[in-house]
Chain A
Amino acid sequence: MSSLSDFDSSSFGDPSETDPGLSAENILKVHKEVTEQLAISVQNLSITYKTQFERVPTVKKAVAGLVRGEKNKFKVVEAVNDVSFDVKHGTILGVIGHNGAGKSTLLRSIAGILAPTTGRIEVRGNISTLLALGLGFHPQLTGRENVILGGLASGLSREEINDKFLEIANFADLGDFIDLPTRTYSSGMNARLAFSVAVHMDPDILLIDEALSTGDAAFKRKARIKMEELMGNARTMLVVSHGLGTIKELCNDAIWLDHGRLVGRGSADEIVDRYTDFVDSGNSAVVLEDF
């Protein structure tokens, strides 16, 4: 989605080397090469930011602070600390860790929303995000307007959105609500629309952050099928979820973040088991609660 970046393909090999051809043999060869290509490479990533104690910074408070001779009240948060990992195309990578471990920050930095403080991130392909806050437009706007604005913000053309609109609306299954303001939607309806927009943006890489937690059982099933379909097309997904059952079931790879550091990488089963041992809660229903 975003390409606010310098073009540099050095880490990813020359795409022209994999000129396909249409024979079945070539297709299989290309499929193998595509899946072996790196989709994401995170190199020594650290993200540090200053958070202010004051929730709403104002000139008034700044001047008052200066007059009283107070120093700036900042707390430095090391959200992500020297994290490195690679993800190949076709991987569904689960990201687990406690609240505040840096999972959402990591996803936002891969999406290009937060800049690294040090280190480097290389991403190959179009990114689509499904983050915790939903589509994010004004609640007075209709579902239709949300779809159009979301698509245009992602860099799709108006024609491309028109082509996909019916599919998005049908998938979200909102009926007549699609032309009503989103303030009239339930949280589940919002989640359905956001998910539908994200997966229909034709993403090579889909970043999902706890965004499915509000959908009902039927929609979860539908979402699962859609995600499996995307994975079948050698797409890459990063899934942040506290539902460890989801991570085990959906992901073929996982990382574990703890206080901003990468403490584990391996198969989803292995990492989830290590994590549950670590939190000393065993495979309890609470931890394995689905998303």
Chain B
Amino acid sequence: MSKTAELEKQDDPIHIFQSNSIGLPHLPTYFRELWRRRDFAYEMSRSTLRIQQANTVIGKFWLVLNPLLLAGVYYFLVMVISSGSHRGPEYFAHLVAGIFAFYFISNSMIGGAASITGAARLVMNASFPRLLLPIAAVRTAFGRFIPTVPIFMIFYVIGGSTLKWQQLLAIPVFGLMMVFSIGMAAFFAALQVYFRDTTAFLPYLNRILLYISPVLYYPDQARHYFKLIGVFNPLFPLLGAFSDTLVRGIVPSVGVWLACVAWAISAFLFGCWFFMSREREFAVRL
């Protein structure tokens, strides 16, 4: 930039930093800055995905092989538990859809939890809306989910099922799962700063969530007490609605939709509030 142009530059931004370390930052400014740096979350996630595959022999193929192996293991598990009783192709499609969606949420939580402590040097060195880091983790989980969509479609079509318009409703359900996941990723990211063993507990929490959610069984086949617990389990309506729409082409009831929206928004607001009201303390805690 020439000196003349530089001297004409009179619209420099002004930053005020004052003693409000507790409580939320100025939200419009925060979200404007977050939006301005959205490419950072994208690039961070793209680089993370590349690193995850960098040291493997088959590289990107893991993104497809991993969910396939998972589906195979759980199908085998269910066969053993149900003493080999016949399960149709529709069930396998339900299992695959449920596991892939569940692992999207689970990977968001685990990736989100490590997003701040894993980027400690960056947090110590640069000032930017920290929420970008758990959002990048959710984007990474989404990047791992995408290759599972064609796998599901293959199993679905091989099973002899036909495509229905109701299946398109799985897209808004997945959108709500994403909103839910951002909230959870932000919550666990902040928690991990205070308790470094959060990531050690998460796999156990996720395993329990998997068993009490309609992944290995259909929502309407859930044991009575799982349905009761389902009132407190956000994944019950979310994963149930996902399978109903995508696999069976059933339009979920208004009650299920309301539960999905309420859980997604509550998790998002709570997670973001928990994170943002503490994020100015992160640099001291790392």
Contact = CB atoms under 8 A, between A and B. Distances in A.
Contact of B51 (A18, A127, A141): A141
Interface string A34-74: 10000000000000010100001111101000000000000
A80 B54 CA distance: 43
Contact of A115 (B11, B12, B17): B17
Q: Mostly helix, strand, loop or mixed at chain B's interface?
A: helix
Contacts of A22: 4
B195 A62 contact: yes
Interface stretch (A149-157, A268-276, A280-288): A149-157
Interface string A96-137: 000000000000111111111111111111110101011111
Interface string A1-28: 1111111110010011011101000010
A31 interface: yes
Interface string B1-33: 101101110111111111111000110011001
Interface stretch (B87-95, B120-128, B151-159): B120-128
Nearest to B42: A152
8 contacts: A4-B26, A4-B127, A6-B26, A20-B7, A30-B8, A58-B195, A115-B17, A134-B121
A263 B63 CA distance: 59
B125 to A, nearest CB: 5
Interface string A153-181: 11101100000000000000000000000
A111 B125 CA distance: 9
A113 B36 CA distance: 18
Interface residues of B, number: 53
Interface stretch (B65-73, B196-204, B246-254, B256-264): B196-204
Interface centre among B11, B37, B51, B127 (most CB of A within 10 A): B127
Nearest to A7: B14
B125 A6 contact: no
Interface centre among B14, B44, B54 (most CB of A within 10 A): B14
B129 interface: yes
Given A20-B7, A149-B40, A2 B33 contact: yes
Contact of B40 (A51, A141, A153): A153
B169 interface: no
B201 A155 contact: no
Given A2-B15, A3-B13, A9-B14, A152 B40 contact: yes
Interface centre among B15, B36, B195 (most CB of A within 10 A): B15
B211 interface: no
A260 B56 CA distance: 49
Given A30-B7, A56-B196, A234-B7, A112 B44 contact: no
Contact of A122 (B14, B119, B283): B14
Nearest to A28: B7
A115 B21 contact: yes
Sorting the interface of chain A by its residue count into under 10, 10 to 19, 20 to 34 or 35 or more gives 35 or more
Given A149-B40, A155-B36, A158-B39, A136 B126 contact: yes
Contacts of A57: 194-196
A75 B17 CA distance: 25
Contacts of B6: 233-234
A8 B16 contact: yes
A149 B16 CA distance: 25
Contacts of A108: 124, 283
Given A58-B196, A116-B21, A153-B128, 10 more contacts: A5-B16, A12-B14, A20-B7, A113-B124, A116-B17, A116-B19, A121-B18, A122-B15, A137-B47, A233-B6
A125 B12 contact: yes
A149 B195 contact: no
Contacts of A111: 126-127
Given A59-B201, A152-B43, A117 B125 contact: no
A113 B51 contact: no
A118 B19 contact: yes
B284 interface: yes
A15 B7 CA distance: 12
A204 interface: yes
